[in-house]
Structure 1
Amino acid sequence: MPCFRCGARQTDPARGASPWRRGVLADRQVLVCPRCQAEHDWAADLDRCAACSSIALVCRLGEVECRDCGHTREAVRDEEGPADDRDLVRSGAPPGDSGLSEEVAAALSRVLRRGPVGT
């Protein structure tokens, strides 16, 4: 999933916690890259909890849950997506083709070119 502001793709993190942040925008889970966190007031763009105003929301299985207070609500989505959906960054790829398959193929070819373990 790319950064919702700039479209940068998340890469495998070094050891430890990921510097990327999760949030919910227009009842959709989004990620924010470290650069956008530093350059923009990214938290102002995200949805807030109706109970405690926290931005620590996660969207899963049709519900939005606040990780701070535990308040949950049903995620509301139109068939075509909410009006705010137009602000989300799109990859520019045709529907169903996110470019991920090419990235996976390249990673597999790098890994499979290595010799057997211990040689």
Structure 2
Amino acid sequence: MPCFRCGARQTDPVRGASPWKRGVRADRQVLICPGCQSAHDWADDLDSCATCGSTALVCRLGEVECRDCGHTRDAAPADLVASGAQAVPAGDGDLSEEVAAALNRVLRRGPAT
């Protein structure tokens, strides 16, 4: 999953805690890369808990849960449309295109047709 702000993709992790942060935006799980964490006030772009106001939310199995207070609610896909946020694509077409382009660069082939 790419960073929701800049589109950067995670690389293979090193040992220890990941520098990437997780959050929920328009009832969808998102990641924030280390660069965007330092360059932007990224927490303002995330959903917050209705009970405690925390942005430490996780979205799983159709529910959004606050990691600070434990409050859960159903994820509402209709909110995505109302908010005007872009949906996360269901398929991995972008990733397969990125992989094809990377293979072409590494193998010094022309563009895929």
Superposition TM-score tier, normalisation by shorter sequence: 0.7 to 0.9
What is the aligned-residue identity percentage? 64
1:21-79 alpha-carbon deviations (Å, 9 max, x no partner): 0000000000000000000000011000001000000000100000010000000003x
Report the Cα offset of residue 100 of structure 1. Answer: 4.5
Alignment partner, residue 2 of structure 1: 2
Q: How many residues align?
A: 101
Higher relative contact order, structure no. (Cα contacts within 8 Å, ≥ 6 residues apart): 1
SS of residue matched to 2:77: coil
Q: Is the 8 A contact 1:2 1:8 kept in 2?
A: yes
Instruction: Give the CA RMSD over aligned residues.
Output: 2.7
Report the Cα offset of residue 12 of structure 1. Answer: 1.2
Alignment partner, residue 47 of structure 2: 47
How far apart are the structure 2 equivalents of 1:102 and 1:85? Answer: 23
TM-score by length of 1: 0.73
Where in structure 2 are there 5+ consecutive unaligned residues?
104-113
Report the Cα offset of residue 81 of structure 1. Answer: 4.2
- Cα 1:58–1:16 change in 2 (3 A) is same
1:1-25 alpha-carbon deviations (Å, 9 max, x no partner): 0000000001111110100000000
- Larger Rg, first or second structure (1 or 2): 1
Where in structure 1 are there 5+ consecutive unaligned residues?
107-119
Alignment partner, residue 109 of structure 1: none
TM-score by length of 2: 0.77
